[in-house]
Chains A and B, each alone.
Chain A
Amino acid sequence: MNAEVKVKAPTRAPMVGAEKRLLRHAMMPHMLCPGCGHGIVLDAMLTVLSARYENLDNVAFVAGIGCSSRIVGYIDACTLHTTHGRPLSFATGLKLARPDLNVIVVTGDGDGVSIGGNHLIHAARRNIDITCVLLNNEIYGMTGGQAAPTTVPGAYTSTTPQGNTQHPFDVSELVKAAGATFVARASSYRPQVVGDIFGQALDHVGFSFLEVMTDCTEYFGRTNRFGDGADMLMSQSRYDPSIDADLASRATVEELTNPRAVRPVLPKGILHRSSRLTLEETLSVSGGRCSSANEIEVLNGDPRRGS
Chain B
Amino acid sequence: MKLMQGNEACAAGAIAAGCRFFGGYPISPSSEVAEEMARLLPKNGGVFLQAEDEMASLGAVIGAALGGSKAMTATSGPGFSLMQEHIGYGYLAEIPCVIVDVMRGGPSTGLPTAPSQGDVMQAQWGTHGDRVAIALAPSSVQEVYDLMIEAFSLSESLRTPVIVLMDEVVAHMREGVDLTLPDPASIRTRPAPTEPPGVSFEPYRTGDDLVPHVPNFGVGYRFHVTGLMHDERGFPTSNTDVAAALLERLEKKVHLAKDLIAPESYLMDDAEIAIVAYGITGRTAKAAVDVLRSKGKKAGLLRPRLLWPVQDEMLKSALANAEVVVVAEMNRGQWVREVERIVAGDTWIYPLLKAGGSMITTDEVVSHALSASDRSSAADGARSSRQDLRIG
Contacts and interface: CB of A to CB of B under 8 A. Distances in A.
B71 interface: yes
Contact of B49 (A82, A92, A291, A298): A92
Contacts of B12: 298-299
Contact of A94 (B39, B43, B67, B86): B67
Interface in A81-109: 81-83, 85-86, 88-98, 100-101
A101 B48 CA distance: 19
A3 interface: no
B85 A27 contact: no
Interface of B: 2, 11-12, 15-16, 18-21, 23, 39-40, 42-49, 51-53, 55-57, 59-71, 85-86, 89, 179, 181, 216-218, 220-228, 233, 235-236
B227 A285 contact: no
A82 B59 contact: yes
B200 to A, nearest CB: 11
Contacts of B71: 93, 97
B198 to A, nearest CB: 12
A122 B50 CA distance: 11
B21 A298 contact: no
Given A93-B67, A291-B18, A86 B56 contact: yes
A73 B236 contact: yes
Contacts of A85: 55
Contacts of B55: 83, 85-86, 89, 119
Contacts of A94: 63-64, 66-67, 217
Q: How large is the interface on A (under 10, 10 to 19, 20 to 34, 35 or more residues)?
A: 35 or more
Nearest to B215: A78
Given A93-B64, A98-B218, A295-B15, A79 B49 contact: no
Contacts of A240: none
A143 interface: no
A55 interface: yes
Q: From A62, A77, A83, A284, name the one whose CB has the most chain B CB atoms within 10 angstroms.
A: A83
Contacts of B43: 297
A27 B228 CA distance: 14
A119 B218 contact: no
Given A86-B55, A291-B18, A307-B2, A57 B228 contact: no
A97 B44 contact: no
B69 A26 contact: no
A44 to B, nearest CB: 20
Contacts of B46: 289, 293
Given A86-B55, A301-B2, A93 B218 contact: no
- Interface-centre pick from B57, B66, B68, B224 (highest chain A CB count, 10 A): B224
Interface in A23-40: 24, 26-27
Given A96-B47, A97-B71, A101-B218, A298 B40 contact: yes
A184 to B, nearest CB: 24
A292 interface: yes
A293 B60 contact: no
Contacts of B56: 86, 88-89, 92, 118-119, 122
